[in-house]
A and B are shown apart, each in its own frame.
Chain A
Amino acid sequence: MVAALRRLLPHLLPHLLPHAALALGAGVMLLPFYWMVLTSIRPPAEIFNVSLWPIPESFAGLANYARAASQAPMARFMLNGVIVCAGILVVQVLTAVPAAYALAKLKFPGRRLLLTLVIAALCVPIQALALPLFVGLAKAQLLNTYFAQMAPFFLSVFAIFLFRQSFRSYPDEVIEAARLDGFTEMEICWGLVMRGSLPALAAFSVFSIVAHWNDLYWPMIVVSDTALAPPPLGMLLFSDAESGADYGALMAGAAIVTAPMVLCFLIARRHFIAGITMTGVK
Chain B
Amino acid sequence: MTPQSLDLVGIGKSFDGADVLENIDLAIRPGEFLSLVGASGCGKSTLLRIIAGLETPDRGSVAIGGRDVTEADPSDRNIAMVFQSYALYPHMSVRQNIATPLRMRRLPLAARLPVIGRLVPGLGATRREIASAVEDAAEALQIRPLLDRKPAQLSGGQRQRVALARALVRAPAAFLMDEPLSNLDAKLRAHMREELAGLHRRLGATFVYVTHDQIEAMTMSDRVALMEAGRILQLGTPAELYERPASLSVARFIGTPAMNLLPVEIDGAGRISGLGRDLGLEAPQGKRGPATLGLRPEDLRFVANGSPARILRTEHHGADRYVTLEILDRSAPTLTLRQRADEEPIPGADGTVALGFHAGRAHLFGADGARLVLRARRQVAA
> B-contacting residues of A (Cβ < 8 Å)?
171, 173-174, 176-184, 187, 191-192, 195-196
Question: When the two chains form their complex, are residues B83 and A176 in contact, meaning their CB atoms are under 8 A apart?
Answer: yes
A173-B105 in contact given A180-B79, A195-B91 (Cβ < 8 Å): no
Query: Are B105 and A179 neighbours in the complex by a CB distance under 8 Å?
Result: no
Is B100 close to A, CB under 8 A?
A: yes
Interface string of B150-190 (1 = CB under 8 A from A): 00000000000000000000000000000000000000000
Assess the B81–A180 pair: CB atoms within 8 A.
Answer: yes
A192 adjacent to B54 (CB under 8 Å): no
Q: Which of A174, A183, A184, A187 contacts B88 (CB 8 A)?
A: A174
User: In the complex the two chains form, is A196's CB within 8 Å of B83's CB?
Assistant: no
Complex contact B81–A182 (CB within 8 A): no
**Which residues of A are found within 8 Å of B54, using beta-carbon distances?**
176, 179-180
Q: State whether A173 and B83 are in contact (beta carbons under 8 Å apart), knowing that A179-B54, A195-B91, A196-B90 are contacts in the complex.
A: yes
Chain B, 202-242, CB within 8 A of any chain A CB? none
Q: Closest CB of chain A to B159's CB: distance in Å?
A: 12
Known: A179-B73, A192-B89. 6 other contacts (CB 8 A): A176-B52, A176-B54, A180-B75, A180-B80, A181-B101, A192-B91
B328, CB-defined interface residue at 8 Å: no
A178 & B81 in contact (Cβ 8 Å cutoff): no
Q: Which B residues are CB-close (under 8 A) to A171?
A: 85, 87
Q: Is the interface of A mostly helix, strand, loop or mixed?
A: helix
B93 at the interface (CB under 8 A from A): no
Say yes or no for B84: interface residue by CB 8 A criterion. Answer: yes
B101-154 contacts to A, CB under 8 A, are 101, 104-105, 109, 112, 114
- CB neighbours of B53 from chain A (8 A): 179-180
Asked if A180 and B74 sit within 8 Å, CB to CB, the answer is yes
Chain A residues, Cβ within 8 Å of B73: 179
- Bound Cα distance from A181 to B169, whole angstroms: 11
B87 and A176 within 8 A (CB) = yes
Q: Which residues of B contact A182 (CB under 8 A)?
A: 75, 101, 104-105
CA A174 to CA B53, docked complex, whole Å:
15
Q: List 21 A-B contacts (CB under 8 A).
A: A171-B85, A173-B84, A173-B85, A174-B87, A174-B90, A176-B52, A176-B83, A179-B53, A179-B74, A179-B75, A180-B53, A180-B54, A180-B74, A180-B79, A180-B80, A180-B81, A181-B75, A182-B101, A183-B75, A184-B109, A196-B91
Residues of B within 8 A of A192 (CB): 89, 91
- B234 CB, nearest partner CB in chain A, Å: 29
Q: In the complex, are the beta carbons of B104 and A183 less than 8 A apart?
A: yes
With both beta carbons as reference points, the residue of chain A lying nearest to B80 in the complex is identified as A180
Minimum-distance CB pairs A-B, first 10: A182-B75, A182-B104, A173-B87, A177-B87, A173-B83, A181-B101, A174-B87, A180-B74, A179-B74, A181-B104
Contact of B81 among A176, A183, A184 (CB under 8 A): A176
**Chain B contacts for A178, CB-based, 8 A:** 89
Chain B minimum-CB-distance residue to A171: B85
Closest to A180 in B: B74
A180 touches B91 (CB 8 A): no
On whether the beta carbons of B83 and A177 are closer than 8 Å, the reply is: yes
For window 48-92 of B, CB contacts with A under 8 Å fall at 49, 52-54, 73-75, 79-81, 83-91
Chain A residues in 8 Å Cβ range of B87: 171, 173-174, 176-177
CB-nearest residue of chain A relative to B85? A173
Contacts of A174 in B (CB 8 A): 87-90
In the complex, A174→B114 CA distance in Å?
19
Given A171-B87, A195-B91, answer yes or no on A177-B81 (Cβ-Cβ < 8 Å): yes
Give the Cβ gap from A175 to chain B, nearest Cβ, in Å: 8
Distance of A11 from chain B, by nearest CB (Å): 39
Q: What's the nearest-Cβ distance from chain B to residue A109, in Å?
A: 13
- State in angstroms the CA–CA spacing of A192 and B89 once bound together: 8
Residue of A nearest to B54 (CB): A176
A173: chain B residues at CB < 8 Å are 83-87
Q: With A and B bound together, what is the CA distance between A173 and B85 in angstroms?
A: 7
Provide the bound-state CA to CA distance between A182 and B73, in Å: 9
Minimum Cβ distance to chain A for residue B381 (Å)? 51
Within the complex, the shortest CB–CB distance from B136 to chain A, in Å, comes to 18
Interface centre among A176, A177, A184, A192 (most CB of B within 10 A): A177
Contacts of B89 in A (CB 8 A): 174, 177-178, 192
Q: Which of B10-64 contact A (CB under 8 A)?
A: 49, 52-54
Q: Which residue of chain B has its CB nearest to the CB of A196?
A: B90
CA distance A181 to B170 in the complex (A): 9
Most chain B CB atoms below 10 A, which of A176, A181, A195:
A181
In the complex, chain B residues 254-294 whose Cβ is within 8 Å of any chain A Cβ: none
> Bound state CA distance, A176 and B90, in angstroms?
14
Please name all residues of chain B whose beta carbon is closer than 8 Å to the beta carbon of A176 when the two chains form the complex. 49, 52, 54, 74, 81, 83, 87
A195: nearest chain-B partner, CB-CB: B91
CB distance from A205 to the nearest CB of B (A): 19
Q: Contact at A180–B105, with CB atoms within 8 Å?
A: no
Identity of the chain A residue whose Cβ is nearest the Cβ of B176 in the assembled complex: A180
Most buried by B among A174, A180, A192: A180
- Shortest distance between the CB of A174 and any CB in chain B (Å): 5
* CA distance in complex: A192, B114 (Å): 12
Q: How far is the CA of A256 from the CA of B74 in the complex (A)?
A: 55
Q: How far is A30 from B88 in the complex, measured between Cα atoms in Å?
A: 46
The residue among B49, B79, B83 with the most chain A CB atoms within 10 A of its own CB is B83
Interface centre among B79, B80, B81 (most CB of A within 10 A): B81
Q: How far is the CA of A180 from the CA of B74 in the complex (A)?
A: 5
**B114 CB, nearest partner CB in chain A, Å:** 8
Q: How far is the CA of A173 from the CA of B105 in the complex (A)?
A: 20
Closest B-chain residue to A187, C-beta based? B112
